[in-house]
Structure 1
Amino acid sequence: MPYADVGGNIRLFYTEDGDGPPLLLVHGWGTDSHQWSWHIDALAANHRVIAVDLRGHGYSSVPDTGNTPREMAGDLAALLESRGIPQVVAVGHSMGGQVVSILAVEHPELVRGLVAVDPGYGMTDRVARRFPRMIDGLRGEHPHAAAEKIDEWCTNAGTPAVIRRWHKRRLYGMPPHVLVQAFEAMFTAPDAIGVRPASDDYLARRRCPVLSIWADQERASWESGLLKDPASRIVCWAGASHRLHEERPAEFVDLVEEWLRAQE
């Protein structure tokens, strides 16, 4: 099985499929790289696709501390170096959208383009007011039930039952300390970038082209003011849920491929 030692006693599980310009696929909070099972075969027809389990998730190492987007981005930089990959287009969903954005800011030489899939940033203060109670639940007696409750906002009536079931089962397999550390680091820690205005200040530092695909028109409109490269694009899929790329995998792949061809 492909594992990479990335320092700090962290081993990342990853897979590689296909050949061509490299794509790095980064999953969201409480999931793993199986999240990309709907997309890998299609993307691998034209790309070298690297799908990775972030620290604390899937088959990768589970440290007692440091399960944060910033540490995860550092792990990815080390993974790319270990594989001799000088530059990628990084694709991140939800928390993964934070992770790849941090990678693009802190290691701009590694990221030639970014695809953010309903990313976990740009939360308003109205939403952020709910986070302390969510964190209390994750620290409580029933952390997986609390995580499942948080996950309810990720789907809607149109989300297939198999997607709901997959994510529920994955959440219940997560170490509770990873769930709470990652959630806090995304939204309430001093250096968190998930809530405005911290999101604005940090994301404006991205210099590469960005394709952002949103289910939320308000946040889509908000992010459009932060994109620096003229090749960047914002798309909003009305009626989709947070799991939009899993609900509409063929459409997602077509959109990503179309945008990548325009960068050539």
Structure 2
Amino acid sequence: MPYAQVEPGVRLFYTDDGEAGGEPPLLLVHGWGADSHQWSWHIDALSAGHRVIAVDLRGHGYSSVPETGNTPRAMAEDLEVMLGRLGIPQVVAVGHSMGAQVVSILAVEHPQRVRALVTLDPGYGMSAEIAAGFPGMIAALRGERPHEAAERIDEWCTNAGTPALIRRWHKRRLYGMPPHVLAQAFEAMFVSGDAIGVRPASDDYLARRRCPVLSIWADPGRAQWESGLLKDPTSAVLCWEGASHRLHEERPEAFVHAVEGWLRRL
């Protein structure tokens, strides 16, 4: 399977499926504590009409695990380098949760690389009330039982309708994660000085995205909030009430249908 060297000591694992055509490839970016296996529900359907690149972010899956720097901003820079190595000038970047932060940073800092964004229950737009609990979560991730702390955080990502298979899949991946990566990435998403996960930092940064955005949420309040930040008239926000944070895994056919339909309208 392919690897891309993005800096000394850091290489990214990725898969490359489908046929190169006249439109930008899809770049699939997983969330916190997961890896590109997260797209196993979707790659076959998407690659029938698109070239599809699915990547393991640094610190995750089969990619390198640096001791430091496991942050969304570094991950976005990794993707910029990887796309250059692969000779891909532009992509439609698809990100779930933390991956939505990563692809949004890529779109802001390297706008020429991103034709359009698809963000799935994004890891941004958190309220100050929710964010008040994050320092305690980070302390637990750095404590004696980091994987148990990660599992408690992950309970927020599912609901009564989430299939047991999906719950088990994510639990197994979390317990295989290096604890320092879980802590560094979570802190960089929400607490660090340049974090964009909590409002108003989310508002200020995401308003800089100029490309079309399709955003799919489980939370109607945050869906309505993001609709006010989108600049391109072809952007769209959907809300799948009743879904959990794992909405694209719970409803893979609906996800593929929504993405394909929106891309045709572009």
Normalised-by-shorter TM-score class = over 0.9
Matched AA of 2:160: A
Verify: 1:55 aligned to 2:58, yes or no. Answer: yes
Query: 1 CA distance for matches of 2:27 and 2:122?
Result: 15
Read off the aligned partner of 2:68 and give its amino acid letter.
T
Say yes or no: does 1:15 pair with 2:15.
Answer: yes
Does the residue aligned with 1:56 lie in a helix, a strand or coil?
coil
Q: Give deviations 1:32-73, integer Å, cap 9, x for gaps.
A: 000000000000011000000000000000000000000000
Q: Residue 220 of structure 1: which of 219, 223, 243 is its match?
A: 223
Residue in structure 2 matched with residue 150 of structure 1 by the alignment? 153
Mapping 1:8-87, distance limit 5 Å: 8-19=8-19, 20=21, 21=23, 22-87=25-90
| Paired position in structure 2 for 1:254 | 257
Q: Which runs of 5+ in 1 are unaligned?
A: none
How far, CA to CA, are the matches of 1:259 and 1:231 in structure 2? 9
Residue 7 (structure 1) shift: 1.3
CA distance in 1, matches of 2:218, 2:123: 12
Paired AA for residue 188 in structure 1: V
| 1:164 and 2:181 are equivalent in the alignment | no
The alignment-based identity, stated in percent, is 78
Q: Distance in 1 between matches of 2:51 and 2:2?
A: 15
One-letter identity of the residue aligned with 1:18: G
CA distance in 2, matches of 1:206, 1:84: 23
Q: Name 1:139's counterpart in structure 2.
A: 142
SS at 2:63 equivalent? coil
Structure 2 counterpart of 1:201, which letter? D
Aligned length: 263
TM norm structure 2: 0.98
Alignment map for 1:117-136 (pairs within 5 Å): 117-136=120-139
Q: Deviations over 1:61-95 (max 9, x none)?
A: 00000000000000000010000000000000000
Q: Which runs of 4+ in 1 moved over 3 A?
A: none
Aligned residue for 1:85, secondary structure, equals: coil
Offset at residue 148 of structure 1 (A): 0.1
Displacement of 1:8 after TM fit?
3.3
The residue aligned with 1:206 is 209
Is 1:5–2:5 an aligned residue pair?
yes
CA distance in 2 between partners of 1:160 and 1:105 (Å) = 35
Residues 112-145 of structure 1, C-alpha deviations (whole Å, 9 max, x = no match): 0000000000000010011011111101100000
Pick aligned residue for 2:182 from 170, 179, 182: 179
Partner amino acid, structure 1, of 2:13? F
Partner Cα separation in structure 2 for residue 153 and residue 65 of structure 1: 27
TM-score, scaled relative to structure 1 = 0.99
How far residue 9 of structure 1 moved from its aligned partner, in angstroms, is 1.9
Higher deviation after alignment, 19-28 or 98-107: 19-28
DSSP 3-state at the match of 2:7: coil
Distance in 2 (CA, whole Å) between partners of 1:82 and 1:25 is 17
2:89 & 2:143 partners in 1: Cα distance?
Answer: 43
